[in-house]
Amino acid sequence: MSKLDSKIPEGPIKDKWTNHKNHINVVNPANKRLIDVIVVGTGLAGGAASASLAEMGYNVKAFAYQDSPRRAHSIAAQGGINAAKNYQNDGDSDYRLFYDTVKGGDYRAREANVYRLAEVSGSIIDQCVAQGVPFARDYGGLLDNRSFGGVLVSRTFYAKGQTGQQLLLGAYSAMNRQIAKGKIAMYNRHEMLDVVVVDGKARGIIARDLITGKLERHSAHAVVIASGGYGNVFFLSTNAMGSNATAAWKIHKKGAYFANPCYTQIHPTCIPRSGDHQSKLTLMSESLRNDGRIWVPKHMKDVEAIRKGTKKPTDLSEDERDYYLERRYPAFGNLVPRDVASRAAKERCDAGYGVNATGEAVYLDFASAIIRYGKEKAHVTGLHNPTQEKIIELGKAVIESKYGNLFQMYEKIVDENPYETPMMIYPAVHYTMGGIWVDYNLQTTIPGCYAAGEANFSDHGANRLGASALMQGLADGYFVLPYTIGDYLAAEIRTGEIPTDLPEFVAAEKDVRDRIQTLMNIKGTKSVDHFHKRLGKVMWDKVGMARNEKGLKEAMDEIKQIREEFWKDVKIPGSAEAMNTELEKAGRVADFLELGELFAVDALHRNESCGGHFREESQTEEGEALRNDKDFAYVAAWEYTGNPREAKLHKEELTFNDIELKQRSYK
């Protein structure tokens, strides 16, 4: 089995990437035509990589489970993308972006990768503008910026609340140009169900055509996995319904190490679950916390009255409310980072102060912002002694101009007017920072198999700051992978086309076919969703935002139990040789049932509180998260051994030469 070598280049951090690029092997253009690359997933990372590799001259085969690359879940990102452009002249630099990202990741990211990310961030903006991405601009015609939590400069580029959509459409259009030229063969509605390894190298995949149900063999000289994150292991998350871990999990089973699976970002401002019918959670942009104040009632009798409907939140006076973030964190108040805000909300709800029927909601209140903005507006417009009604009217107009689309979205889902009554919010699973372990070249522990974007273990560490996921996806796809993959492919120019009738292809296809047949033959009594929901509940209750040893051990057993029941009792109607969405889900949930257990194993071994992950055994006297750098400053990379519980731990020690490790405090 492969050795864990991060391949971080020598030299000072600011020169590493340049030196590395200068010494990387280059494939001559005529030879690139002889080389095929498979890209699984066509979101920001996969789409950008497909377009870039095809432009360079490689033959690309791209796979997406949707009907079009334009629908990848990158499209749902709202807020923005970071870049160290220093257009606002507020002192931003590559170093500052690097520093903020490492700190925001709670010192669990690889320094060299994060520096490279910061270094190429500016080129991303240039590239996207050249592609016609309509970023927000100011009246001078130059690009506008806004600021996000956790940083002190204004470095976030945005396109209203649809930044992800516009960036993805940029990558999609770059792909379309190459599809039209015949350099990308696009396989829509296809799902990768296994990787084929020949002589220790990734040489292709087995894919299922989701319309016909037919299995297909596709060969290539290298395989890139860019299939996104695994947040749907929780069943309820902000991820798209189809987002799955299958591609990542299949390569894990074939030898790719899976790193830091327990690193999941919990986002504090989502619309709460309203009942058991719910299929997914909707995120409300973090920007709302700039103006909203978060509270729950101070007295239990008021909580009960609100739940019964005999009192409204607006009936409670200021001193009957507990503004718990302002109380606990006077310095940062409502603008503490995502992990701190999420944990604090859960703490209040666990104590019984949740304000909706399920007891899992806190208020996000804009009343004082409305008054404040209203008064300001009255001043500006020369309105003396305005009535309270006039102030509120003016204030609402200001709030509408800032957050109108979010307020409307909330009203559609919850059926309450957030201008009149406080919003209800609760934390939800959002982005996964664990994933397939890769070296500096984004190569996994399987030679010739690469991972990009959210699918890899990411440059962000334990807790990601806002607006950096889009940055990483595009950096990997446009500016990192196209260089680093050449280092490997330079040795492949004489390989020739890889035949798909090799015994390894035959065997992999048979394994996939057998697995599908096994699933179809169970003919049990319970639906796939039944098992997925049960898994999700265990994950949220015991492996979610706050964990302890006892709960994690229970979770491991419970997940194993659910998995065993699944393989005995799942019911999948229809046929395997046709479009069958239940079969698709079954395969994905089967993988989640293994991944979930590894997730718990990883959380159990990491006996420190870190970023969004609170181990109850590791906290300060005030109940804050306590990191343990002495024992846990490493990446946990797990090797599959046939059973998730017995996965073998490999450690990549993290060394910090350019940044001093500090405890985070927001008091």
Q: Which is nearer to another protein, 232 or 260 (CB)?
A: 232
| Shortest spacing between CB 505 and another protein, in angstroms | 27
- In eight-state DSSP terms, residue 649 is E
Q: Which residue has the tokens 């020690």?
A: 653
Closest CA to 430 of 407, 389, 474, 464: 464
Strand, helix or coil for residue 436: strand
Q: Give least dist CB 66 to another protein, A.
A: 6
Closest by CA position to 544, among listed 588, 593, 600, 591? 600
Closest approach of another protein to the CB of residue 398, in Å? 19
Q: Which DSSP string corresponds to 88-143? A: T-SS--HHHHHHHHHHHTTT-S-HHHHHHHHHHHHHHHHHHHHTT----B-TTSSB
Find the shortest distance in angstroms from Cβ 194 to another protein.
Answer: 23
Looking at beta carbons only, is 30 or 130 nearer to another protein? 130
Q: Are 203 and 448 in contact (CB under 8 A)?
A: yes
Q: How many CA atoms lie within 13 A of 243 on its CB side?
A: 28
- Residue 369 Cβ vs another protein, minimum distance, rounded to whole Å: 25
In whole angstroms, give the CA distance from residue 566 to residue 552: 21
Closest of 364, 359, 365 to residue 308, by C-alpha: 359
Q: In Å, how far from its chain's centre is CA 465? A: 11
Give the separation between CA 584 and CA 39, rounded to whole angstroms: 20
CB nearer to another protein: give 244 or 444: 244
CA distance 279 to 425: 17
Query: How many other β-carbons are positioned within 10 Å of the β-carbon of residue 597?
Result: 26
Q: Whole-number minimum distance, CB 240 to another protein, in Å?
A: 4
Write down the least CB distance from residue 65 to another protein, Å. 9
Q: Which is nearer to another protein, 21 or 298 (CB)?
A: 21
The position carrying tokens 């085969």 is 61
Cβ proximity to another protein, 177 vs 390, nearer residue: 177
Q: Which residues contact 152 (CB under 8 A, 6 or more apart)?
A: 90
Is the Cβ of residue 193 or residue 240 nearer to another protein in the bound state? 240
CB of 467 to another protein, least distance (A): 16
Q: Which is nearer to another protein, 97 or 283 (CB)?
A: 283
Residue 490: CB minimum distance to another protein, A = 19
- By the 8 A CB rule, do 190 and 208 touch? yes
> 93 to each of 108, 561, 659, how far by Cα in Å?
21, 51, 15
Shortest distance (Å) from residue 257 CB to another protein: 29
Q: Tokens 């005999």 — which residue?
A: 310
Specify the residue, 521 or 655, whose C-beta has the smaller distance to another protein: 521
Shortest approach of another protein to residue 322 CB, angstroms?
Answer: 27
* Residue 44 Cβ vs another protein, minimum distance, rounded to whole Å: 12
* Nearest to another protein of 172, 366 (CB atom): 172
**Is 274 or 290 the residue whose CB approaches another protein more closely?**
274
- CB nearer another protein, residue 241 or residue 491: 241
Helix (H) or strand (E) holding 224: strand 222-225
Amino acid, res. 581: T
What string of H, E and C letters represents the secondary structure of 587-619?
A: HHHHHHHHHHHHHHHHHHHCCCCECCEEECCCE
Q: In angstroms, give the least distance from the CB of 242 to another protein.
A: 5
Q: How far apart, in whole angstroms, are the C-alpha atoms of residue 635 and residue 113? A: 13
Residue 271 CA to its chain's centroid (Å): 18
Tokens of 69: 């690359």
Give the nearer residue to another protein in terms of CB position, either 6 or 282: 282
Q: How far apart are CA 625 and CA 617, in angstroms?
A: 10
Q: Which residue's CB is nearer to another protein, number 250 or number 530?
A: 530
Q: How far apart are CA 530 and CA 466, in angstroms?
A: 33
